[in-house]
Chain A
Amino acid sequence: MLAGCHPGGAEFVDEVDLVLTTHQNTYDFGTANTFSMPDKIPVVTGSLLEGEEIEYLEAPKAELILDQIMSNMESRGYVYVEDAADADLVILPATISTTTIVTYCDYWGDYWGWYYPYYGGCYYPSAYAYTTGSVLIQMIENDNSTAVVNVWGAAVNGLLQGSDASIASRVQKGIDQAFAQSAYIKTN
Protein backbone atom coordinates (compact mmCIF):
# COMPACT_ATOMS: atom_id res chain seq x y z
CA MET A 1 0.00 0.00 0.00
CA LEU A 2 2.32 2.75 1.22
CA ALA A 3 5.85 2.79 -0.18
CA GLY A 4 8.61 2.20 2.36
CA CYS A 5 12.20 3.35 2.67
CA HIS A 6 14.82 0.67 2.07
CA PRO A 7 18.30 2.00 2.76
CA GLY A 8 21.46 -0.01 2.39
CA GLY A 9 21.01 -3.30 0.63
CA ALA A 10 23.43 -5.37 -1.42
CA GLU A 11 26.38 -3.53 -2.95
CA PHE A 12 28.42 -6.41 -4.33
CA VAL A 13 27.42 -9.30 -6.53
CA ASP A 14 28.38 -12.00 -4.02
CA GLU A 15 26.06 -10.48 -1.40
CA VAL A 16 23.08 -11.89 -3.30
CA ASP A 17 24.46 -15.45 -3.53
CA LEU A 18 22.23 -18.04 -1.87
CA VAL A 19 22.77 -21.68 -0.94
CA LEU A 20 19.75 -23.86 -0.18
CA THR A 21 19.86 -27.46 0.96
CA THR A 22 17.17 -29.87 2.00
CA HIS A 23 17.38 -33.46 3.21
CA GLN A 24 15.20 -36.32 4.32
CA ASN A 25 15.30 -36.43 8.11
CA THR A 26 14.64 -40.18 8.09
CA TYR A 27 17.59 -41.13 5.87
CA ASP A 28 20.87 -42.26 7.46
CA PHE A 29 23.71 -41.05 5.21
CA GLY A 30 26.11 -43.20 7.18
CA THR A 31 24.70 -46.38 5.65
CA ALA A 32 26.02 -45.40 2.21
CA ASN A 33 29.64 -45.86 1.16
CA THR A 34 29.82 -45.28 -2.59
CA PHE A 35 28.55 -42.63 -4.98
CA SER A 36 28.37 -42.03 -8.70
CA MET A 37 27.94 -38.98 -10.94
CA PRO A 38 27.54 -38.40 -14.67
CA ASP A 39 30.45 -36.73 -16.49
CA LYS A 40 28.23 -34.10 -18.12
CA ILE A 41 25.85 -31.53 -16.63
CA PRO A 42 22.56 -30.80 -18.43
CA VAL A 43 21.31 -27.25 -18.85
CA VAL A 44 17.64 -26.93 -17.97
CA THR A 45 16.00 -24.70 -20.55
CA GLY A 46 12.35 -25.49 -19.90
CA SER A 47 11.67 -25.65 -23.61
CA LEU A 48 13.03 -29.04 -24.63
CA LEU A 49 10.76 -30.79 -27.13
CA GLU A 50 10.51 -34.53 -27.66
CA GLY A 51 13.28 -35.68 -29.94
CA GLU A 52 15.50 -32.69 -29.31
CA GLU A 53 18.99 -33.18 -27.93
CA ILE A 54 19.75 -32.19 -24.37
CA GLU A 55 21.96 -29.15 -24.02
CA TYR A 56 24.98 -29.65 -21.79
CA LEU A 57 27.16 -27.19 -19.93
CA GLU A 58 30.55 -26.51 -21.57
CA ALA A 59 33.13 -29.06 -20.47
CA PRO A 60 35.48 -26.74 -18.50
CA LYS A 61 32.61 -25.31 -16.44
CA ALA A 62 31.09 -28.77 -15.93
CA GLU A 63 34.42 -30.16 -14.74
CA LEU A 64 34.74 -27.39 -12.20
CA ILE A 65 31.36 -28.25 -10.68
CA LEU A 66 31.85 -32.03 -10.83
CA ASP A 67 35.33 -31.79 -9.30
CA GLN A 68 34.03 -29.67 -6.44
CA ILE A 69 31.24 -32.15 -5.67
CA MET A 70 33.66 -35.07 -5.95
CA SER A 71 36.13 -33.41 -3.59
CA ASN A 72 33.46 -32.79 -0.96
CA MET A 73 32.05 -36.31 -1.13
CA GLU A 74 35.46 -37.97 -0.94
CA SER A 75 36.49 -35.83 2.01
CA ARG A 76 33.47 -37.26 3.85
CA GLY A 77 34.59 -40.82 3.27
CA TYR A 78 32.55 -41.78 0.19
CA VAL A 79 34.17 -43.70 -2.66
CA TYR A 80 33.45 -42.81 -6.28
CA VAL A 81 32.38 -45.62 -8.59
CA GLU A 82 31.86 -45.23 -12.32
CA ASP A 83 28.88 -47.50 -12.71
CA ALA A 84 25.78 -45.92 -11.18
CA ALA A 85 24.29 -49.38 -10.67
CA ASP A 86 27.06 -50.15 -8.17
CA ALA A 87 26.68 -46.90 -6.21
CA ASP A 88 24.73 -46.38 -2.98
CA LEU A 89 24.12 -42.75 -3.87
CA VAL A 90 23.68 -41.19 -7.30
CA ILE A 91 24.41 -37.49 -7.62
CA LEU A 92 22.74 -35.60 -10.48
CA PRO A 93 23.84 -31.99 -11.03
CA ALA A 94 22.07 -29.63 -13.42
CA THR A 95 22.23 -25.92 -14.22
CA ILE A 96 19.65 -23.31 -15.12
CA SER A 97 19.92 -19.63 -15.98
CA THR A 98 17.21 -16.99 -16.20
CA THR A 99 17.37 -13.54 -17.72
CA THR A 100 15.01 -10.95 -16.25
CA ILE A 101 14.24 -7.74 -18.11
CA VAL A 102 12.83 -4.83 -16.12
CA THR A 103 11.27 -1.85 -17.88
CA TYR A 104 10.42 1.38 -16.13
CA CYS A 105 9.74 5.01 -16.85
CA ASP A 106 12.15 7.72 -15.78
CA TYR A 107 9.96 10.61 -16.84
CA TRP A 108 6.29 10.84 -17.62
CA GLY A 109 6.18 13.95 -19.77
CA ASP A 110 3.54 16.27 -21.09
CA TYR A 111 3.98 16.06 -24.83
CA TRP A 112 1.87 15.41 -27.87
CA GLY A 113 2.46 12.25 -29.83
CA TRP A 114 1.21 10.75 -33.08
CA TYR A 115 -0.05 7.60 -31.45
CA TYR A 116 -2.42 6.68 -28.62
CA PRO A 117 -2.69 8.07 -26.02
CA TYR A 118 -1.62 11.14 -28.06
CA TYR A 119 -0.86 13.23 -24.97
CA GLY A 120 1.35 12.41 -22.06
CA GLY A 121 3.03 9.07 -21.62
CA CYS A 122 6.52 7.88 -20.89
CA TYR A 123 9.10 10.30 -22.21
CA TYR A 124 12.17 8.30 -21.19
CA PRO A 125 11.42 4.58 -21.18
CA SER A 126 14.30 2.64 -19.66
CA ALA A 127 15.17 -0.97 -19.09
CA TYR A 128 17.77 -3.11 -17.50
CA ALA A 129 18.38 -6.83 -17.47
CA TYR A 130 20.12 -9.27 -15.24
CA THR A 131 20.85 -12.97 -15.49
CA THR A 132 20.80 -15.36 -12.57
CA GLY A 133 22.19 -18.85 -12.56
CA SER A 134 21.61 -21.88 -10.37
CA VAL A 135 23.49 -25.11 -9.89
CA LEU A 136 21.01 -27.77 -8.80
CA ILE A 137 22.28 -30.97 -7.17
CA GLN A 138 20.12 -34.00 -6.46
CA MET A 139 21.35 -36.95 -4.39
CA ILE A 140 19.30 -40.10 -4.92
CA GLU A 141 19.38 -43.28 -2.88
CA ASN A 142 20.10 -46.16 -5.23
CA ASP A 143 18.25 -49.04 -3.58
CA ASN A 144 17.63 -50.80 -6.91
CA SER A 145 13.89 -50.29 -6.60
CA THR A 146 11.72 -48.43 -9.07
CA ALA A 147 11.04 -45.63 -6.59
CA VAL A 148 13.32 -42.59 -6.81
CA VAL A 149 14.09 -41.31 -3.34
CA ASN A 150 15.71 -37.92 -3.28
CA VAL A 151 17.57 -37.88 0.03
CA TRP A 152 19.37 -34.57 -0.42
CA GLY A 153 19.05 -31.57 -2.68
CA ALA A 154 21.04 -28.38 -3.07
CA ALA A 155 20.66 -25.17 -5.04
CA VAL A 156 23.43 -22.62 -5.43
CA ASN A 157 21.97 -19.39 -6.82
CA GLY A 158 23.48 -16.05 -7.77
CA LEU A 159 23.93 -13.35 -10.35
CA LEU A 160 25.84 -14.32 -13.48
CA GLN A 161 27.87 -11.15 -13.41
CA GLY A 162 31.58 -10.59 -13.40
CA SER A 163 34.46 -12.44 -14.97
CA ASP A 164 34.33 -16.18 -15.61
CA ALA A 165 36.96 -16.63 -12.91
CA SER A 166 34.94 -14.75 -10.30
CA ILE A 167 31.76 -16.65 -11.19
CA ALA A 168 33.68 -19.94 -10.99
CA SER A 169 35.05 -18.99 -7.59
CA ARG A 170 31.58 -18.17 -6.29
CA VAL A 171 30.16 -21.44 -7.64
CA GLN A 172 32.92 -23.42 -5.91
CA LYS A 173 32.32 -21.52 -2.68
CA GLY A 174 28.59 -22.18 -2.98
CA ILE A 175 29.06 -25.94 -3.46
CA ASP A 176 31.44 -26.06 -0.51
CA GLN A 177 28.84 -24.19 1.59
CA ALA A 178 26.12 -26.65 0.51
CA PHE A 179 28.18 -29.48 1.98
CA ALA A 180 29.33 -27.41 4.97
CA GLN A 181 25.71 -26.91 6.06
CA SER A 182 25.08 -30.63 5.54
CA ALA A 183 27.30 -32.14 8.20
CA TYR A 184 25.08 -35.25 8.25
CA ILE A 185 26.50 -36.30 4.84
CA LYS A 186 29.28 -38.65 5.94
CA THR A 187 29.98 -42.33 6.07
CA ASN A 188 29.99 -44.26 9.32
Chain B
Amino acid sequence: MAFIAMAGGSAVAQGYTSIHYDIGIPLGNTSDQITKGSFRGVGLDYRKAINTNFAAGFSLGWQVFYQRNDYATYTGTIGDKTVDLTGVQYNYLNAIPLHGNIGYYLGDPDNTIRPFIGLGIGTTYFERRVEMGLYVNEINAWQFSIQPEAGFIYELSDSMGAFVGAKYTQGFTTDKLDGQSYISINVGFAWKLN
Protein backbone atom coordinates (compact mmCIF):
# COMPACT_ATOMS: atom_id res chain seq x y z
CA MET B 1 0.00 0.00 0.00
CA ALA B 2 1.43 3.34 -0.96
CA PHE B 3 2.02 6.42 1.09
CA ILE B 4 -0.45 9.16 0.03
CA ALA B 5 -3.01 7.40 -2.08
CA MET B 6 -6.73 7.14 -2.39
CA ALA B 7 -8.24 3.69 -1.87
CA GLY B 8 -9.63 2.63 -5.21
CA GLY B 9 -13.37 3.25 -5.64
CA SER B 10 -13.95 4.49 -2.13
CA ALA B 11 -13.83 7.74 -0.25
CA VAL B 12 -11.35 6.43 2.28
CA ALA B 13 -8.27 8.67 2.26
CA GLN B 14 -4.84 7.61 3.42
CA GLY B 15 -1.93 9.53 4.76
CA TYR B 16 0.70 9.11 7.40
CA THR B 17 2.05 10.18 10.73
CA SER B 18 5.77 10.57 11.11
CA ILE B 19 7.99 11.05 14.13
CA HIS B 20 11.54 12.13 13.52
CA TYR B 21 14.77 13.14 15.19
CA ASP B 22 15.80 16.63 14.11
CA ILE B 23 19.22 18.21 13.77
CA GLY B 24 19.09 22.01 13.72
CA ILE B 25 21.37 24.41 11.82
CA PRO B 26 21.01 28.04 12.93
CA LEU B 27 20.69 30.77 10.29
CA GLY B 28 20.23 34.54 10.10
CA ASN B 29 19.52 36.28 13.39
CA THR B 30 19.68 32.96 15.20
CA SER B 31 23.27 32.41 14.10
CA ASP B 32 24.19 35.90 15.34
CA GLN B 33 23.76 34.51 18.84
CA ILE B 34 24.39 30.78 18.37
CA THR B 35 26.54 29.32 15.61
CA LYS B 36 26.63 25.78 16.94
CA GLY B 37 24.26 23.18 15.49
CA SER B 38 21.61 21.53 17.62
CA PHE B 39 21.42 17.79 18.20
CA ARG B 40 18.40 18.14 20.47
CA GLY B 41 15.31 18.13 18.29
CA VAL B 42 12.17 16.15 17.66
CA GLY B 43 9.25 16.55 15.30
CA LEU B 44 5.88 15.10 14.46
CA ASP B 45 4.00 15.37 11.18
CA TYR B 46 0.43 14.38 10.38
CA ARG B 47 -0.64 14.27 6.74
CA LYS B 48 -3.96 13.22 5.28
CA ALA B 49 -4.21 12.57 1.53
CA ILE B 50 -6.38 14.90 -0.52
CA ASN B 51 -5.66 12.99 -3.71
CA THR B 52 -2.82 10.82 -5.00
CA ASN B 53 -0.39 13.75 -5.05
CA PHE B 54 -1.53 16.18 -2.41
CA ALA B 55 -1.83 15.86 1.34
CA ALA B 56 -2.57 18.32 4.12
CA GLY B 57 -2.07 18.26 7.85
CA PHE B 58 0.05 19.77 10.56
CA SER B 59 3.59 19.67 11.95
CA LEU B 60 4.90 20.12 15.47
CA GLY B 61 8.48 20.30 16.61
CA TRP B 62 10.93 21.25 19.33
CA GLN B 63 14.50 22.27 18.69
CA VAL B 64 16.99 23.28 21.39
CA PHE B 65 20.06 25.32 20.52
CA TYR B 66 22.79 25.80 23.13
CA GLN B 67 26.19 27.44 23.03
CA ARG B 68 28.72 28.29 25.72
CA ASN B 69 30.98 31.26 24.97
CA ASP B 70 34.28 31.19 26.87
CA TYR B 71 35.32 33.98 29.24
CA ALA B 72 35.19 37.12 27.07
CA THR B 73 34.42 40.84 27.22
CA TYR B 74 31.29 42.41 25.75
CA THR B 75 31.14 46.18 25.19
CA GLY B 76 28.20 48.56 24.98
CA THR B 77 27.30 52.17 25.72
CA ILE B 78 24.82 53.77 28.08
CA GLY B 79 24.54 57.49 27.46
CA ASP B 80 28.02 58.95 27.45
CA LYS B 81 29.51 55.96 29.25
CA THR B 82 31.11 52.83 27.82
CA VAL B 83 30.28 49.61 29.64
CA ASP B 84 32.41 46.45 29.46
CA LEU B 85 31.17 43.15 30.88
CA THR B 86 33.39 40.08 31.15
CA GLY B 87 32.33 36.57 31.96
CA VAL B 88 31.30 33.19 30.59
CA GLN B 89 28.11 33.40 28.53
CA TYR B 90 25.53 30.65 28.05
CA ASN B 91 23.17 31.08 25.11
CA TYR B 92 19.97 29.11 24.56
CA LEU B 93 17.23 29.13 21.94
CA ASN B 94 14.20 26.87 22.29
CA ALA B 95 12.04 26.77 19.18
CA ILE B 96 8.59 25.15 19.09
CA PRO B 97 7.12 25.39 15.57
CA LEU B 98 3.41 24.74 14.99
CA HIS B 99 2.28 24.73 11.35
CA GLY B 100 -0.55 23.74 9.10
CA ASN B 101 0.99 22.10 6.06
CA ILE B 102 0.22 21.16 2.53
CA GLY B 103 2.49 18.82 0.59
CA TYR B 104 2.93 17.62 -2.98
CA TYR B 105 4.07 14.04 -3.40
CA LEU B 106 5.93 13.35 -6.60
CA GLY B 107 5.73 10.29 -8.76
CA ASP B 108 3.57 7.23 -8.69
CA PRO B 109 1.86 6.38 -5.40
CA ASP B 110 3.06 2.78 -5.73
CA ASN B 111 6.75 3.72 -5.92
CA THR B 112 8.91 2.54 -3.04
CA ILE B 113 10.42 5.98 -2.67
CA ARG B 114 7.97 8.89 -2.54
CA PRO B 115 9.66 12.32 -2.65
CA PHE B 116 7.71 15.34 -1.50
CA ILE B 117 7.84 19.11 -1.17
CA GLY B 118 5.62 21.14 1.06
CA LEU B 119 4.89 24.40 2.79
CA GLY B 120 3.82 25.05 6.35
CA ILE B 121 2.27 28.26 7.61
CA GLY B 122 1.73 28.93 11.26
CA THR B 123 3.59 30.13 14.30
CA THR B 124 6.75 29.32 16.20
CA TYR B 125 7.33 29.93 19.88
CA PHE B 126 10.86 31.08 20.59
CA GLU B 127 12.50 31.34 23.98
CA ARG B 128 15.84 33.11 23.72
CA ARG B 129 17.86 33.07 26.90
CA VAL B 130 21.29 34.45 27.82
CA GLU B 131 22.94 33.63 31.14
CA MET B 132 25.99 35.47 32.46
CA GLY B 133 27.07 35.05 36.04
CA LEU B 134 23.96 34.61 38.14
CA TYR B 135 21.92 36.82 35.82
CA VAL B 136 19.50 35.79 33.11
CA ASN B 137 18.00 37.68 30.21
CA GLU B 138 15.09 35.81 28.63
CA ILE B 139 12.82 36.80 25.78
CA ASN B 140 9.73 34.77 24.93
CA ALA B 141 7.94 35.45 21.68
CA TRP B 142 5.42 33.91 19.33
CA GLN B 143 6.38 34.67 15.75
CA PHE B 144 4.40 34.17 12.59
CA SER B 145 6.45 31.65 10.61
CA ILE B 146 6.60 29.72 7.41
CA GLN B 147 8.13 26.30 6.96
CA PRO B 148 8.98 25.04 3.47
CA GLU B 149 10.10 21.43 3.45
CA ALA B 150 11.34 18.66 1.20
CA GLY B 151 12.19 15.01 1.64
CA PHE B 152 11.15 11.47 0.85
CA ILE B 153 9.52 8.44 2.40
CA TYR B 154 11.07 5.04 1.73
CA GLU B 155 8.51 2.30 2.10
CA LEU B 156 9.75 -0.45 4.44
CA SER B 157 6.56 -2.45 4.83
CA ASP B 158 2.84 -2.30 4.20
CA SER B 159 2.41 -0.12 7.25
CA MET B 160 5.51 2.00 7.66
CA GLY B 161 8.43 3.66 6.00
CA ALA B 162 11.61 5.54 6.70
CA PHE B 163 11.22 9.30 6.70
CA VAL B 164 14.00 11.66 5.61
CA GLY B 165 13.50 15.36 5.11
CA ALA B 166 14.54 18.93 5.76
CA LYS B 167 12.48 21.85 6.98
CA TYR B 168 13.41 25.52 6.88
CA THR B 169 11.70 27.48 9.67
CA GLN B 170 11.56 31.26 9.24
CA GLY B 171 10.03 33.37 11.97
CA PHE B 172 9.14 37.01 11.35
CA THR B 173 10.24 39.89 13.53
CA THR B 174 8.01 41.06 16.35
CA ASP B 175 8.46 43.96 18.75
CA LYS B 176 10.02 41.54 21.24
CA LEU B 177 12.39 39.50 19.11
CA ASP B 178 14.08 39.66 15.71
CA GLY B 179 12.94 36.99 13.27
CA GLN B 180 14.63 33.68 14.04
CA SER B 181 15.42 31.01 11.45
CA TYR B 182 17.00 27.59 11.16
CA ILE B 183 17.06 24.47 9.04
CA SER B 184 16.25 21.09 10.57
CA ILE B 185 17.32 17.77 9.07
CA ASN B 186 14.65 15.19 9.91
CA VAL B 187 15.26 11.43 10.15
CA GLY B 188 12.65 9.02 11.45
CA PHE B 189 9.75 6.80 10.58
CA ALA B 190 6.33 7.24 9.05
CA TRP B 191 3.27 5.12 9.77
CA LYS B 192 0.47 4.90 7.27
CA LEU B 193 -3.02 6.04 8.14
CA ASN B 194 -5.86 3.78 7.08
- Seen from chain A, the residues whose Cβ lies within 8 Å of a Cβ on chain B are 1-2, 4-10, 15-26, 132, 157-159, 177, 181-182
Contacts and interface: CB of A to CB of B under 8 A. Distances in A.
Interface residues of B, number: 30
A181 B73 contact: yes
B64 A22 contact: no
Interface string B45-85: 00000000000000000101010100001000110111111
A9 to B, nearest CB: 6
B133 A17 contact: yes
A4 B62 CA distance: 10
Given A18-B85, A19-B86, A177-B86, A25 B80 contact: yes
A24 B68 contact: no
B88 A16 contact: yes
Interface in B78-103: 78, 80-88, 90, 92, 94, 96
A119 to B, nearest CB: 34
A15 B134 CA distance: 10
Contacts of B68: 8
29 contacts: A1-B140, A2-B125, A4-B94, A4-B129, A5-B40, A5-B62, A5-B92, A7-B40, A7-B64, A7-B66, A8-B68, A9-B90, A10-B88, A10-B90, A10-B131, A16-B133, A18-B85, A19-B87, A20-B86, A21-B83, A21-B84, A22-B82, A23-B82, A24-B80, A157-B134, A159-B134, A181-B73, A181-B86, A182-B84
Nearest to A174: B86
Contacts of A25: 77, 80-82
A26 B84 contact: no
B132 interface: yes
A8 B86 contact: no
